[in-house]
Amino acid sequence: MEQTREAMTTVVAHWESEGWKLMSMSSDYQGMDGVFLLFERSSNPGEPKIQVYHSSNMTRQ
C-alpha cells in the first residue's frame, strides 16, 4: 500500500506542477486492477478539450 501512495503522490505532484488540478480518482473500471486519476485545467485556444495519458511504473504484486 505504501508503494501505491508514493506513486500517486509523485503523479499528482508532477501534474499539479504543470497546472493541472486533481478532480477525482477511481479504482473501479470493468474489473481491472489500477487507479484512474482525473485532472483538469483551463485549455489554451487550439488545444484539444480532452487529453489522455497512460503510464505505469508499478508491477503487479
Lowest mean pLDDT among 6-10, 13-17, 49-53: 49-53
pLDDT of residue 4: 83
SS3 for 13-28, per residue?
HHHHHCCCEEEEEECC
Give the pLDDT of residue 44: 78
User: pTM, whole model, 2 decimals?
Assistant: 0.64
Give the pLDDT of residue 29.
65
- Can you tell me the mean pLDDT for 6-31? 86
DSSP letter for each residue of 1-61: -HHHHHHHHHHHHHHHHTT-EEEEEE--BTTBS--EEEEE-PPPTTS-S------------
Q: Report pLDDT digits (tens) over 19-59.
A: 889 999 887 766 667 788 888 888 778 877 776 766 654 43
